[in-house]
Amino acid sequence: MNEQQSKEVLERFQAGTDSPQENQQVRYWLHHLHEDQPSDLSETFLRDTHDEMWSSILLQTQPTTTVKTTRLPLRIVLAAASVVAILGICIYFFTKEPSDNRFANNILPGTDKATLILSNGDKISLNEAKNGVLALQSTMKVIKSEGGEIIYTSRPDPAPYTNGARNQESETKNVNTMITPRGGQYKLSLPDGTKVWLNAASTLTYPVSFTGRKERRIELKGEAYFEVAKDKMHPFLVQSKTQVVKVLGTHFNISSYPDDASTQTTLVEGSVLVNMVALKPGQQAVNSGSLIKVRSVDPDGVIAWKNGEFSFRNQPLEQIMKQLSRWYDVDVIYQNQQTGSQLFGGTISKYKDISKVLRMLELTGDVKFKMEGRKVFVQ
């Protein structure tokens, strides 16, 4: 089976003219394409099942009146899927324009944008601000780097700065807040050198300086990925919703949106305590407010958003649509609420237009989408 034949099978699948066997096999293939599930199958077995699967598909496409179809075992279908994946068929479909007008008003992805609220109440639109010193606060100066990152550095010279920098010698609360809107994200380095990637529709509140404090405590609403600077004498604490995450120096992700039923803390490297529950790398704490459950996950999938991707791995459609709603700044409307509980999988760049992401989801499950303005209707 070459790439052209594979495309033809998927074209029939997309157009709704595929056979029942083609439909089942392609759906299994697409659903498991990015699952990265371990397999103990030999290369010989994979080659044999690959040939068997595509041979049975081709039999159904031949002009004969005596076609015998065979439903292949799921194990064979999944094994064949891992072989066919190398054909790169998905690229073909994600770059092909839709054949209908359901996505006529396509919506572009989010960008790097946020608002920085200084301790005196001043607001700075970071996507509009020029590079350079943005504010002078206590012993720190706030800088927007050439790459657009917000950096806090020591202020050795109290002399005034130009470039519109705010001078705040008489600040009272000494706390700043960064807010990303729907359709925005931003990166900053805190005064201790900790790096933070703030996802869409999120808020981070933190001290202008950690000097003189016994601990480095910040507050998060939404989602962020942290690379915490090591400091054994001053623990790093993240307050979010119903929990406190305590670390000394590590890499982890917290998703704690107000409209989510739980807070997920995923450890990538090092160690953390979630309300005194210890995590190891590759573990995720799911905090419902009254109970914390620890499970093993693939951290790369959890932090895919930080690396410019959507990675959905057997996730309910409702959770997926929440991510799309925040990143593309759209409202999601379900014609049937039960649709939100269906599980989907797939990986695609988060910098694709929303139509390509929605079409990927259509290929991997029984769902259709229609867009009107900034509303996405789930059918």
Least confident of 44-48, 81-85, 264-268, 326-330: 81-85
pLDDT at 236: 96
- Residues counted in the chain: 379
250: pLDDT strictly greater than 90: yes
Question: Alpha carbon 167 to chain centroid distance?
Answer: 37
82: pLDDT strictly greater than 50: no
Average of pLDDT values for 157-179? 61
Asked whether the beta carbons of 106 and 355 are under 8 A apart, the reply is yes
CATH 2.60.120.1440 fits 111-301, yes or no: yes
117: pLDDT strictly greater than 70: yes
Selected residue with higher pLDDT from 174 and 88: 174
Separation between Cα atoms, residue 337 and residue 208, nearest integer Å: 44
58: pLDDT strictly greater than 50: no
Least confident of 11-20, 89-98, 195-204, 209-218: 89-98
Please write the tens of the pLDDT for every residue from 312-341.
888 899 999 999 999 999 999 998 888 888
Quote the crossing angle between the two packed helices 74-84 and 43-61, to the nearest 10°: 100
Average of pLDDT values for 290-302? 94
372: pLDDT strictly greater than 70: yes
268: pLDDT strictly greater than 70: yes
280: pLDDT strictly greater than 80: yes
Say which CATH topology domain 304-378 has: Phage tail protein beta-alpha-beta fold (3.55.50)
Least confident of 66-75, 207-216, 300-309: 66-75
> Of all residues in the chain, what percent carry a pLDDT higher than 70?
69
What is the per-residue DSSP string for 181-210?
-TTEEEEEE-TTS-EEEE-TTEEEEEES--
Strand-pairing partners, residue 374, are: none
375: pLDDT strictly greater than 80: yes
Single-letter amino acid code for the residue at 315? Q
277: pLDDT strictly greater than 80: yes
Average of pLDDT values for 285-310? 94
60: pLDDT strictly greater than 70: no
Separation between Cα atoms, residue 256 and residue 274, nearest integer Å: 13
Least confident of 52-66, 90-104, 275-289: 52-66
pLDDT at 267: 97
pLDDT at 346: 83
Look at the pTM and tell me if it is higher than 0.85. no
Separation between Cα atoms, residue 282 and residue 252, nearest integer Å: 10
**% helix / strand / coil in the chain, to the nearest 5?**
25, 35, 40
Least confident of 39-43, 219-223, 326-330: 39-43
pLDDT at 66: 40
Cβ-based burial of 254 (10 A; exposed 0-12, middle 13-18, buried ≥19): buried
Average of pLDDT values for 293-306? 95
Q: Do the domains 111-301 and 304-378 sit in the same CATH topology, yes or no?
A: no
* Every domain of the chain and the residues it spans: 3-95, 111-301, 304-378
pLDDT at 332: 95
| Count of alpha carbons within 13 angstroms of residue 149, beta-carbon side | 13
pLDDT at 363: 79
What is the per-residue DSSP string for 111-133?
EE--EEE-TTS-EEETTTSPSEE
Average of pLDDT values for 142-148? 94
Single-letter amino acid code for the residue at 153? T
pLDDT-based confidence at residue 126 (cuts at 50, 70, 90): very high
Average of pLDDT values for 114-142? 94
Selected residue with higher pLDDT from 135 and 7: 135
Average of pLDDT values for 107-132? 95
> Of all residues in the chain, what percent carry a pLDDT higher than 90?
55
Separation between Cα atoms, residue 333 and residue 33, nearest integer Å: 28
Q: Which of 55-69, 70-84, 247-261 has the highest mean pLDDT?
A: 247-261
Please provide the average confidence, as pLDDT, over all residues in the chain.
80
